[in-house]
Each structure stands twice: as structure tokens, then as C-alpha cells.
Structure 1
Amino acid sequence: MTTYSPQTEAELAECIHAADAPLRIQGGGTRPVGQVVAHDLVEMSQMAGITLYDPGALTLVAQAGTPLQQIQDTLLAERQRLAFEPQDLRGLLGTSGQSTIGGVVASNSSGPRRIQCGACRDFALGVRFVDGAGTVLKNGGRVMKNVTGYDLVKLLSGSWGTLGVLSEVSLKTQPTPETSACILINGLSDAEAVAAMSQALSSPFEITGAAHAPVGVDGLPVTMLRIEGFDGSVSYRTEKLRDMFGTFDVSVERDPERLQAGWRWVRDVEMMHGQSGDVWRISCKPSDGPDLVSRLNAKSVLYDWGGGLIWALMPEGRDLRAVLGAFGGHATLMRSGATDPTIATFQPEPAALATLSTSLRAKFDPKGILNSGIMA
């Protein structure tokens, strides 16, 4: 396998234009999801650097190979952040290296705050990329605006490098809140926890994180509700939520370091680090979650997004979709200890949607060389 490390967009375009065999597209190599069929590797870490940052306009532009940590450090210095809370999946997937902003956007990586502010794709203002024919394309810009035709910014977000290779991304940033707090409700069943999270999210108290672990750090069930904002507002909303759930065993965490560690534990699914088995990511209606989990006999489970996202640690080589049957959502095999080619990484699409997806890939990657096989 030959490794190409382009340093400019022109070099990237030439590399893809000249390719006549499948290419594996890689940023920092921290999210190796799916089984890519590749002859050569295109490694993007040399195309790095923040090309524009305007804190006043809440706008940042960076080359795709820029380390995520560099971007977060730059924003932190101006008391800003990436609101969508991108995940660090190295511990879960057993990888190392530096996650890149291109990989974050390509995988639409979005953490617990998604329920309140949206996903990564909702904060992507613009993209530059090279399609499978070696043509440089751009869409969007540095401000939010209405679009006609394909919204390529959202189309590229979550496409896992199958429609084009990102060379530059423009992102909307967010001020870091003054303070935060977490309501901890102890001892709830899964169904009670989902109901409580739904009640909190339906309230006017602006929950920015809602998660439930049937087995928390101390071995007991814990439900977590995060509040962020100005100190006075956070204190007021905290008391209102304590009153709302006054019949349960409720406590409040305000220590910044413990709060950061607790939500990192949720965001990065730390309970499953170093644990053997396959890791599945299930997206579903929150109200359906407890019933779905009851069918799994999973080794470990974590609910995020108010119950709309479920992480499940399963025995190796077991097709979770076959266990669940048809349901209103989709399941993705994020980590596999057994290489069973009959278990698709991504949820098989309905016929009409599969036809549309195939047509889009043929349009943007006519040679079929970009991360070939990852969606199979």
C-alpha cells in the first residue's frame, strides 16, 4: 500500500484525479469505522492549520487535517468552544493519534449537547473538498445562509469520506457559559429515567445534556441532567428541577472538574473502554429505548440524548439488528472484535433511499474509489 500525504489542495486533487484504484481516506486514524476496501492511503494530517479565526463573528476556518485539540485550545483562549461537543473515541475504538477536524465533520461527531444545540453539521458553515474525479468544489461560506440545490455542507457531514475528501471547513463557534450544574437522579429504572429526561427536556429550563446509565460509576443507576449559563440562571433552574423531581433521590453537582469528567464519561462512552465485545450505537425514539434494551441482553448500556441514542456493548459477532428486528431507528456497528463480513457496519437502507444514496455516490465519486466498502 502506498501512502500519499498531500500538503496542498492542489496536490490532493492531483492524487485523486490520478488514482485508478480504491483509496482509504484518513485524518488522524482515530475513527476506523467500517471495512474500507483500499489499495492506497491518503493521509490528511499534512493539510493542517487554522486559516481564519474571528472570535467576534464566532467563526473559525481550518484545513481538514488540523488537530481537533489545536482548535479547542485556540477557542478556549477566547472563552469559546465547539458547541456540538465532538467525541474522543480513541479509548472506545482502541486507537491513538490526533483526531482531526476533517474527521470530526466527515463523521458528524456530536456529543451530549446535540439535544439542545444540534449536531456538528448544524455548525458547519462551509466546506471545500475534492470529489472522486479530482475536482475541487466548495459550498457555503463563513456565515449561515439559505441554499438552493444540494446543501453540500450537510451532505458531506456524516458521509465518512465517501462523497469527497474535505480540504477545509468553516465552523460556527459558541461562547463558553459562565457556569454549569448537573442534576443527578439516583436509582431510576430505564423507563423511569427516559420519562424523567423527557420531562426535563420538555421544561423551560434549557437542559444541555440528558443521559442515563443503568450501571453508573458507583455501580448504581444514575440519570444526569446538565444545565449551563449565567450563574444566577443556573442556580434558579437547578432549584426548579430539584423541585420537579423532589420525590426521587436527587443531588446536585457544581464542581467544574467533576462536571467535566462526568460528561466526558458520557460523551466518550468511557464505561466501555477496555471492555471486550462489540460496541453498537443505536438511534431511536427515546420512548422505544427501554424496550429495545430489554431485548438485547447487553453486557453494558448507556443512554444519551434523552434516550434517543443508546450505546450497547454486545458479545462479539452477534448481529444486534437480527435481535431487535424492525424498529423505528438505526443501529451502527462502531467497534467489532470479530470480522464477520455479513454484519454491515451501517444500517441497511430501504430500497428507495439506497437508490438515492447510490446515485449520489456515483455523482460525486464516479470511479468508486473513495473509502470504498465503508457503507456496504
Structure 2
Amino acid sequence: MSAVDIQYPETEDDVARIVADAKASNLSVEVRGGGTRLGLGRPSQSASALSLAKLTGITNYDPSELVMAARAGTPLAEIESALAENNQMLTFEPMDHRPLLGATGEPTIGGVFAANVSGPRRISAGAARDNLLGVRFVNGTGEIVKSGGRVMKNVTGLDLVKLMAGSWGTLGVMSEVTFKVLPRPETAVTIVVSGLNDAEAAEAMAAALAMSVEVSGAAHLPESVIHKFAGGSLKGGPATVLRLEGLTPSVDVRSERLVAEMARRGTVSVLEAQASQDLWREIRDVIPFADGTMKPVWRVSVAPSAGHQLVAALRLKTGVDAFYDWQGGLVWLRMEADPEADLVRQYIKVLGGGHATLIRADAATRASVPVFEPQPKPLEALARRIKDQFDPAGVLNPGRMTAGM
């Protein structure tokens, strides 16, 4: 459902007033950043929207302290540009969902943390939430809250920062975020091991991560998707790719060790800095499935040893294409037609657990299928109690994550 009335607050006080007015009028609002992820999650159930597109600006940045603070609507491109001027970066390399979802707009730093968006470097740098140090937000009653300051009634002991990251605007409207940054690596290379099947690749990635060579990215790209990566720099059969970053002399030494180990498993080649950067950007943004269709795409997190087993089991039952990130623990699945939600989640449970998020599907499917992993009853009850404390009237993004909440 498209929002009819969009309000653009320019200050935190404006946000608080809009939310308080909505609560007083018994209305709900759809919370937006740059609008790049509107097609992710259950469809909006609100007739009005609050966009943070005008709540922008870097409010504090001391490169020597490796910390930045910015208003939530600040474009991610502005953040990355300021960091690049000081040879720094966001270590968790957040995904840009626009190619996959066919979306427009500009990703915002608040949206990144609200959705806990993390990329290939998560295996070494942690998720977005692990890099978030502080938040200011407006709760569902129109009160301004900041981490480390006022403690909300009946939520003593809860980590507000961790709660807000990944809450998709259902608990509060983030107005400012403070986060860690780190120096940008001097160089990067990618070791490519060709010809491994999915199971062999899982073993190779595990072996690479067990070595003291500091792998910062580990992915496997089956033959069905290989031609869609990095402008054709990867050719032939399947490729298992392992990224090394850091100072040039260190990368050279670690690369030599990793090449020697991987050569026992398959044919090895090396992508240098620019080609390596291009490849990992395309892995991050799921470019093979950015095909202009609405074929369902799942983001599945399982144990690294279980990813290829999940794909093999699904291929016996339904049409599916896949590739792997995070040492095989993150599986990107594209279904040919039906999302097969029950089947996907049943197999995940059989293989030891994990979670599946339906990243892309048409609105009707997203309204009928649990987009986010259903929680066990005790966790669901806890989530509802937290929602009741932060947003008792259900003003903020109702139903975005779970029906009826």
C-alpha cells in the first residue's frame, strides 16, 4: 500500500511532534529512510508516512577517535565520502538493496542500522549492530530517548542500542546514530579456487578460515551464477573466493600461504585490488539475482557446514538457484515461482536451525507469508511486551515485521 501523506521532519523535535500527534489521533505511520527498502518486509498498513530524508548531517566526527555520529536521514553516500577523505570506512560494508529490489532513492545511515544491514565482511567485523555505539530515537508516544541517558519505564536492563538495530522502525524512529569506523585497508586481493562443488567449497572455506591469514570474505559462486559476477572476470566453472586485506607486505605473505594451501584443492588464481573490490561489491549486493523480476529471493543464515546441504535438499523438491557468502553460512536463494516458505524453514530446522528472511517477493506474497523468521512462543511474547513498552498504541510501522504487531 502506498502512503498517501508523507511528512518530512527536519529536526528531532519535529519527529516527536508528528509521532505524538499520530498517537493522539489514533493513527499509525510508516517510518521511512531513503525509501530503498520499502519492498522488503510486510506491506505497509499505514495511510501516512514519516520520511527522515530531511533529517540529515554528520553531527560529530573525529577521525582520530574512529567514531562518527550522524542524523538518521544522512545519505550513506555522504557518510562513506567523509570517511574516504580520511582513508576510513564502515567495516561491515552494508548491502545496497536497490539492484535486487529494483528500488530508487538513497540509502540512509539510519536505514542501515534500522535494518541491521551487513555485507561479506561480517565474518570478521561483525554485523551493523556490533558497530553501533549509541542512538537517539523517538518512541511511539512521541518521547525522545537516548542511549545512556533516560531509561524507559519497565525496560531497565535492556540494551537500547541492540534493540533498535534490526527493529525496522517498529520500536522507535531513530533520529541520530553513533557508530564505529576503522581505517581502510591499504590493499586487497582475492584468491580464487576454481572447480569445487558446493560441499568441497564448504570444506575449503572452513580450512581457509582456520588458517592465521585473516580472511575477511569467503564465498562460493556455483557455475549457474558465475558469469554474472565482476564483469566476466570469473570464467569457467564454479569459483570459491577468499579475500585478504591489509598492508601490502602483509597481504603478500598471507596470500602466498593461502594460495599454497588452496592449490591442493583446485586451480588457483588471484584477483588484484580493483577486480577484487568489484567482485565483493557484487557479492554484497546479490547481483546475480538482480534480474528485474519479482522471483522470490531468500536470505538464509545457517551453520556454514549446512548451507550446501540445504540447497541440495531444496533442489530435489523445487526450482532454486543459490550462492553462498559468510563461509557458506549465508545462502542466497532465488526460487523460480512459489517462495516455498514452509519447505525452506522445515529444512533449516532439520539441519540444525537458523533463520530465513524473504528479501524479495511481490506485495501479495509478502502479505501472506511470514517474511521474517517466526519466533518461538516465549520470544514472540517477549517481543510483544517490548513493543508494548516502546509503542503501546501501535503507531510505528504496524505489521511491518509480524502480522498484528
- Per the shorter chain, which TM-score range? over 0.9
Q: Is the 8 A contact 1:115 1:209 kept in 2?
A: yes
Counterpart selection for 2:90 from 66, 82, 90 = 82
Moved more, 307-316 or 166-175: 307-316
Task: Verify: 1:7 aligned to 2:10, yes or no.
Answer: yes
Give me the whole-angstrom Cα distance separating, in 2, the residues matched to 1:361 and 1:236.
Answer: 51
User: 1:31 & 1:318 partners in 2: Cα distance?
Assistant: 19
Distance 2:385 2:304 in 1: 32
Deviates more, 1:272-281 or 1:207-216: 272-281
Q: Which residue of 2 aligns with 1:144?
A: none
Read off the aligned partner of 1:233 and give its amino acid letter. Answer: S
Q: Which runs of 5+ in 2 are unaligned?
A: 150-155, 228-234
Cα deviation, 1:135-185, whole Å, max 9, x if unaligned, reads 1000149xxxxxx81111111001111110100000110001111111100
8 Å contact kept, 1:183–1:226: yes
2:342 to 294, 316, 321: 321
5 Å matches for 1:215-294? 215=223, 216-217=226-227, 218=235, 220-247=237-264, 248-254=266-272, 256-276=273-293, 277-294=295-312
Q: Partners of 1:179 and 1:302 in 2: how far apart?
A: 26
Q: Is the 2:345–2:356 Cα contact (8 Å) retained in structure 1?
A: no
Q: Is the contact made by 1:179 and 1:230 (CA closer than 8 Å) also made in structure 2?
A: yes
Task: List 4+ stretches of structure 1 deviating above 4 A.
Answer: none
Counterpart-to-counterpart distance in 1, 2:339 and 2:242: 32
Aligned equivalents of 2:395, 2:345: Cα separation in 1: 33
Distance 1:270 1:140, change over 3 A: farther
Amino acid in the other structure paired with 1:12: V
Separation of aligned partners in 1, 2:342 and 2:61: 43
Tell me the equivalent position of 2:324.
303
Worse overlay, 244-253 or 158-167: 244-253
Range 105-114 or range 210-219, more displaced: 210-219
Contact 1:22 / 1:371 at 8 angstroms: preserved in 2?
Answer: yes
Identical amino acids, percent of aligned pairs:
45
CA offsets per residue over residues 329-366 of structure 1, 9 Å max, x none? 01110010361333111011111111111111111111
TM-score (norm 1): 0.95
C-alpha deviation, 1:131, in angstroms:
0.5
Q: How does 1:323-338 map to 2 (within 5 A)?
A: 323-325=344-346, 326-327=349-350, 328-337=353-362
Q: Deviations over 1:210-231 (max 9, x none)?
A: 0111131236211110000111
Map of 2:230 onto structure 1: none
Once the two structures are TM-superposed, the CA of residue 324 in structure 1 deviates from its matched residue by 4.6
Number of the residue aligned with 1:339 = 364
Instruction: Answer yes or no: is 1:360 the counterpart of 2:381.
Output: no
1:45-64 map, 5 Å: 45-64=53-72
2:136 is equivalent to residue 133 of structure 1: no
Separation in 2, partners of 1:362, 1:30: 28
Equivalent residue, structure 1, for 2:109: 101
Task: Indicate how the Cα distance of structure 1 residues 369 and 316 shifts in structure 2: closer, same or farther if over 3 A, else same.
Answer: farther
TM-score normalised by length of structure 2: 0.89
Match of 2:241, SS state, is: strand
Q: 1:30 aligns with which of 28, 36, 41?
A: 36
Measure the CA separation in 1 of the matches of 2:19 and 2:274: 45
Output one character per residue of 1:33-76: Cα deviation in whole Å (capped at 9) or x when no partner: 11221121001100000111100001111000000000000100
In 2: Cα distance, 1:274 partner to 1:219 partner: 21
Matching residue of 2:152 = none
CA RMSD of superposed structures (Å) = 1.4
Matching of residues 12-23 of structure 1 within 5 Å: 12-19=15-22, 20-23=26-29
Kept in 2, the 8 Å contact 1:316–1:338? The answer is no
Provide Cα deviations, 1:220-253, integer angstroms capped at 9, x if missing partner: 2111100001111101100101111122111111
Unpaired segments of 5 or more residues in structure 1?
142-147
Q: Which amino acid aligns with 1:370?
A: L
The residue type equivalent to 1:221 in the other structure is P
Give SS of 2:305's match.
Answer: helix
User: What amino acid is the match of 1:291?
Assistant: Q
Q: Report the residue type matching 1:337 in the other structure.
A: D
Compared with structure 1, are the counterparts of its residues 360 and 324 closer, same or farther at alpha carbon in structure 2 (3 Å cutoff)?
closer
AA of the residue aligned to 2:394:
G
Residue 123 of structure 1: which of 131, 139, 149 is its match? 131
State the aligned residue count: 369
Alpha-carbon separation, structure 2, partners of 1:338 and 1:160: 17
AA paired with 1:303? Y
Structure 1 counterpart SS, 2:368: coil
- 1:295–1:323 contact (8 Å) kept in structure 2: no
- Post-superposition Cα deviations, 1:183-219, rounded to whole Å, max 9, x if no partner, equal 1001111111111111111111100000111131236
